[in-house]
Chains A and B, each alone.
Chain A
């Protein structure tokens, strides 16, 4: 495909002076000027993101345009065009600037682009610029011959939109162009066509199809486009031998690298990469976690060097902030080994980056910094996460307007399916205002198919019932004052509840105060004081102690109640919502720990199936009891995430949208995120436990949810692949809603060589030559049912039908 071409001419004023070539162009003449350039290809909904705010995004078209050759050149008539790349322009134009040419752009966008359009579409020539655009206008066009390279970043984990940055031979870079594929009619059509043809949305190399692929394809028709062997995101356009050489020879940082290597920079380009390549950033960029020694090198630098690094203007802001944080220094004392400390520190940076990524739109420099960074990427999942990135609409919280629109104005009955609501909440969560209503459905206080009146009646009776239950202990003097075991037990529980309430979420404003005199002079808190919300918490937990007499109050429940109460701030409503939550959480609190054990065993099997290498390491570290996830599973990450993230996480998991036990995929996502540190640095159970315990407050929620979802799909595929191998159809437990929309041919089931044979005897997920066996608990993860403690017949019409009993 690449053709010989004459050396490119410098862009001159002659480019602007185009006339129509009547001979060759069967034209749709542009009406206003009568002169134009040929629009070969274009793609719509390619945005410039000039500010962090999405509302400032500018939609436009990326286009490949052919202009009339300067005098003296013979225009090509061949069907395989030989076009001087100097006569081709790669341009980006905002929709607003197109005027009446807009329709032509739309039309060309929608053409089948497998060949250049037979008909010629002429549009007004775009403004030429080979450097940065003047202020206020982001439009540009650059002769293809002037393009040195493209930085191509397909959509991936945390990057909803794939992007392309064009670097010119003059050393300039144009604004990053973001491909909003979900809005782009042609990309949607092309993607669909591919899926239809191959049942595979991925291209030959296994990557997800996106708008940027098309741009590369356009260019490849006319010029040589070479992907750099070293920087996989860099595509060189018509590279010279020297260019290729300098990219090929660029030193790969390896684990033995000690000294500060100079990065070979292709002349006149990629100055961005060179500029940020201080030792620290380079360490971050290093390809694998095994390079953590690099961090050690960094910290061994003299103080002077360290401050030089801090002052480096190219240092990403989040890194600088962390370097200046005195806690970073004091953290070191917590760890036996500096290596672990460094690993932890680096993960802290990575998490911080993810948190901040949500807030800012990345400049080119930042993009470069994040490119291929092993920090923060679980690369295997990259493509998976790309699949589920969805559009930003899906991950926008459900606001009151959207919520209300789903309900009939008169009857108050749901007018869409409950599954649709769950899907939205699973992906987007709720606005705070919506929670007061939505949570009552998610927690099964209200049936989804109820009317407004039915709900009002239901709530009235629930309120009465709450008062009745509360009265049982409130009015019972024998328990309050009586002797004997029951009185003692009750007072014991009351003291415990009160104590726990007074140490639960006191940093949350409603629970903070202690200015109300304590109503009970005998209370241990009588001298300290309390507040009305703490008293309500205490009453609700005592009432639950009464409601569920077999279980009673168990520590950890106050953590589960506090967010619910804080949202409703109405004791009766919060109580019943809590009861709904406890339906699925009850097994966590069983005295024999059978429920917790069942989940930890399931987690063990899940890790063995999904990541046998990591599992092997954990086994060596005597950690396959997964006890270090005890707290996360017991109170659903309440202690790991900040308050608002907890609310968001819980409502997602309450939907059971993918699995009734999605929380185990969240656990797996956390584990995978820290996989490299664990593998490289943690050799013993106590180290793993300490490390995992201290993740509290550092985990970034959104990327964790995305990873968890990706892991679920991967798990689902693994199960299906295994079932196919074993020759029986998918089990009925698979949820009807979850379909395999993202099939990948090279779906990776763990290899048979993962060495699980020792566990065959234990009845765990085993790998034989037919691939892993899917155990009963694993298969249960595909079910959307929650697991309840068997104690009574499931109420009719409830979602608990067909539930799986707690396995012993």
Chain B
């Protein structure tokens, strides 16, 4: 029996509390919409997604607590993420402006080649929209984020697409040799041969807090 994936990549979900990080994770990994408890610390889940060349990447999703108070905790999980979802709530303008903070943390602490997608969640609540699609897309472009998508964890709309986009970019980076095989902190595992796998390069998941 061979492992059903070629790579495992660590992807972190960041964003204000209540933007739907846990709901997105649950939607992706379990295919359902559930009211989730307040996230305390970090939750882990995973899902295998298809990328180019018939390859499969297992996304290991690190779902974090959103409140500013827990930023130092969350930062300690950023360190060796290969990808990140920056999540805001289209019905609350301030959640987009706060994304800036998470982004700067990613740039400061995270991997240099981390794949980032900007996710505007709750697009099912269009009547309460405070952030337009264009505005957010513009914001993403200005901040060097290649991809922006609006999702609804409730209806499932585009959720998979958001994660697949991260996975695709990670795969392209792998294929193009962007990741330094001698580098550390890439949060990436590569399957070697049948039914065995090796941690290519990984490092401590950081000390507690920073």
Contact = CB atoms under 8 A, between A and B. Distances in A.
Contacts of A635: 40
Contacts of A500: 17, 38
A622 interface: yes
A680 to B, nearest CB: 18
A38 to B, nearest CB: 68
A593 interface: yes
Given A555-B40, A558-B38, A627-B208, A686 B60 contact: yes
A621 to B, nearest CB: 10
B204 A622 contact: yes
Nearest to A558: B38
A208 to B, nearest CB: 39
A600 B73 CA distance: 13
Contact of A503 (B3, B38, B46, B65): B38
A690 B44 contact: yes
B37 A504 contact: yes
Given A592-B72, A634-B41, A693-B44, A686 B67 contact: no
Nearest to B5: A336
B40 A554 contact: no
Nearest to B40: A631
Given A492-B94, A499-B17, A689 B208 contact: no
A600 B208 contact: yes
Interface in B10-30: 10, 17-18
Interface in B41-87: 41-44, 46, 60, 65-67, 69-70, 72-73, 76
A673 B26 CA distance: 29
Contacts of A504: 37-38
B2 interface: no
B205 A496 contact: no
A506 interface: yes
B41 to A, nearest CB: 4
Dominant SS among interface residues on chain A: helix
A648 interface: no
Nearest to A335: B46
A422 interface: no
A693 B209 CA distance: 19
B107 to A, nearest CB: 22
Interface size class of A (residues with CB under 8 A): 35 or more
Given A597-B209, A693-B43, A554 B69 contact: yes
A616 to B, nearest CB: 15
B37 A639 contact: yes
A439 interface: no
B209 A555 contact: no
A627 B76 contact: yes
A503 B35 contact: yes
A282 B125 CA distance: 56
Contacts of A622: 203-205
B73 A630 contact: yes
A591 interface: yes
Nearest to A627: B208
A589 interface: yes
A564 to B, nearest CB: 17
A82 B41 CA distance: 71
A556 B40 CA distance: 7
Contacts of B3: 336
The main secondary structure of chain B at its interface with chain A is loop
B91 to A, nearest CB: 8
Contacts of A336: 3
Contact of B65 (A555, A592, A684, A685): A555
A625 interface: yes
B38 A555 contact: yes
Contacts of B209: 592-593, 596-597
Given A630-B73, A693-B43, A556 B38 contact: yes
Interface string A587-606: 00101110011001100000
B194 interface: no
A626 interface: yes
B204 A496 contact: no
B104 to A, nearest CB: 18
A593 B73 contact: yes
A587 to B, nearest CB: 13
A50 to B, nearest CB: 44
B143 interface: no
A558 B39 CA distance: 12
- Most-contacted residue by chain B among A592, A593, A634 (CB, 10 A): A593
Interface string A613-636: 000000000100111001100110
A555 B67 contact: yes
A565 to B, nearest CB: 16
A553 to B, nearest CB: 9
A559 interface: yes
Contacts of A558: 38
Contacts of A559: 38, 40
B124 to A, nearest CB: 13
A503 B17 contact: no
A592 B210 CA distance: 9
A559 B41 CA distance: 14
Nearest to A600: B208
Contacts of A631: 40-41
B62 to A, nearest CB: 8
17 contacts: A334-B46, A496-B67, A555-B38, A555-B40, A559-B38, A593-B209, A622-B204, A625-B206, A625-B208, A627-B205, A627-B208, A639-B40, A686-B10, A686-B44, A686-B205, A690-B44, A693-B43
Interface of B: 3, 10, 17-18, 35-38, 40-44, 46, 60, 65-67, 69-70, 72-73, 76, 94, 199, 202-209
Which 4 residue pairs of A and B lie closest in terms of their CB atoms, listed nearest first?
A630-B41, A625-B208, A685-B205, A622-B204
Given A506-B35, A627-B205, A630-B73, 19 more contacts: A492-B94, A503-B36, A503-B38, A504-B38, A554-B67, A555-B65, A555-B67, A555-B69, A591-B72, A592-B209, A593-B70, A593-B72, A593-B73, A596-B73, A596-B209, A622-B204, A625-B208, A635-B40, A686-B10
